[in-house]
Amino acid sequence: MGNNFEFVNPQFFWLFLTLPVLVLWYLWKRKRQTASLKISSIEGFKSGKNWLARLKPFLFALRLLALSAIIIAMARPRTVDETTKTKTTRGIDIVMAMDLSASMLARDLKPNRLEALKTVAARFINSRPNDRIGLVEYAGESYTRTPLTSDKTIVLSSLKSMEYNTTIEGGTAIGSGLATAVNRLKDSRAKSKVIILLTDGVNNSGFIDPKIASELAVEFGIKVYTIGIGSNGMAMSPIGIRPDGGFQYGNVKVEIDEALLKEIAKKTGGQYFRATSNTKLEQIYEEINKLEKTDIEEFKYTNYDEMFRPWAIFAFVLIAFEFLLRITVFRGFL
């Protein structure tokens, strides 16, 4: 909401250019009407009313002032008070299914794949203020970390706390992760239901075939965007546990089942993306953000407060005052 001042017809301000012309015309006319006579003294012509003769241009000044007020009134000044209300007409429910297997600690993305994903995913969540978002994490098995909610604070807090742990069975159960995400969305009444499935490996765990899970997504009208994360070739990845409990790293070949991810995306009406770097991962989420737009209906209410009337009244008062002076006080000097 804000108040703005404007002139509806600002072109009338060009009429102010006529004021200097009128002044010159008045001076020229006054000079022609004034007779010149050389005398030795004007003492005999002095009277108590000479000051009224000197004030005669005051009548012309009143006319100019009235004309100026009329021009401003014709320009139609007013204040504009606008109120805008938005209404989401098409909500989107989104579940982000994230691979939390040990390979997500690989350092081909900085500082590693998981932390890079969390940073980019947080930006994506913040860019969807009108949608419900849920989180699913999976490795050898899958869990719902955050059910669908419009409270972004809860989602972001849950995302921030996501980390690799040994509680979840090791491996990469793409089918289970996808099936859990489908289960979160199947009862949704949103007009658009979307899963963003991210993995850095191949399906090697779980009891659900990824193709069966994708067929379930199709049945419930869910679109799946798949992302394969990891550079091409070799990447520094965890290969064992050190005596101090930390990971021992070594060069491991990056293996992503791109054929499967492409098939899932194509079958459900989504798209497949490959994130080989932090920048590429950011671009992918930006692209998905553009593809899945939430329709927002905007209502704008405008209230106008017209301000030309005071100027018109002021002009009328000046004209009336000038006329009154002309037929009374200055009657004998015109």
Residue at 45 is within a domain: no
Give the residue from 84, 70, 81, 80 showing the smallest Cα distance to 8. Answer: 80
| Cα-based angle 270, 276, 278 (whole degrees, multiple of 5) | 100
70 & 183 share domain: no
* Two tokens, residue 139: 């490795």
155 and 213: one domain?
yes
43 located within any domain: no
Q: What is the distance between the terminal CA atoms of the chain, rounded to a whole angstrom?
A: 55
Is the pLDDT at 34 greater than 70? The verdict is: no
Q: Could you tell me the pLDDT band of residue 87, with boundaries at 50, 70 and 90?
A: low
Q: Is residue 34 part of a domain?
A: no
Kindly state whether residue 226 falls inside one of the protein's structural domains: yes
* Tokens standing for residue 308: 């030309």
Q: Please state the three-class secondary structure of 218-284 as a single string.
A: HHCCEEEEEEEECCCCEEEEEEEECCCCCEEEEEEECCCCHHHHHHHHHHHCCCEEEECCHHHHHHH
Q: Do both 287 and 246 map to the same domain?
A: yes
Query: Does residue 130 form part of some domain?
Result: yes
CATH number at residue 154: 3.40.50.410
Residues 235 and 326 in one domain: no
Residue 116 resides in a domain = yes
Higher-confidence residue of 104 and 322: namely: 104
Angle between helices 57-75 and 18-33 (to 10 degrees): 160
The answer to whether position 14 is within a domain reads no
Q: Tokens 């009548």 sit at which residue?
A: 59
Same domain, 168 and 59: no
Helix or strand (DSSP H, E) at 324: helix 308-327
Task: Identify whether residues 184 and 268 lie together within a single domain.
Answer: yes
Same domain, 134 and 197: yes
276 and 237 in a single domain? The answer is yes
* Own/partner long-range contacts of 243-252 (Cβ < 8 Å, ≥24 apart): 247/102, 247/105, 249/107, 252/103, 252/106
State the pLDDT confidence band at 46, using cuts at 50, 70 and 90: low
Q: What is the pTM of this model?
A: 0.64
pLDDT band of residue 5 (cuts 50, 70, 90) is confident
Show the domain range for 274. 93-292
* Residues 312, 69 contacting (CB under 8 angstroms): yes
Closest to 65 (Cα-Cα) out of 307, 325, 319: 319
Burial class of residue 215, CB neighbours in 10 A (0-12, 13-18, 19+): middle
Q: How far apart are alpha carbons 123 and 329 in whole angstroms? A: 78
Per-residue pLDDT band for 304 (boundaries 50, 70, 90) equals confident
**Residue 259 and residue 221 share a domain:** yes
Q: What are phi and psi of 276, to 5 degrees?
A: -100, -5
Number of domains in the chain: 2
Same domain, 61 and 141: no
User: 169 and 64 in one domain?
Assistant: no
Across 267-293, average pLDDT: 95
In this structure, the answer to whether residues 58 and 121 fall within a common structural domain is: no
Residue 302 within a domain: no
Q: Per-residue pLDDT for 88 more than 60? A: no
Mean of all residue pLDDT scores within the chain:
87
Count the neighbouring beta carbons within 10 Å of the beta carbon of residue 268: 25
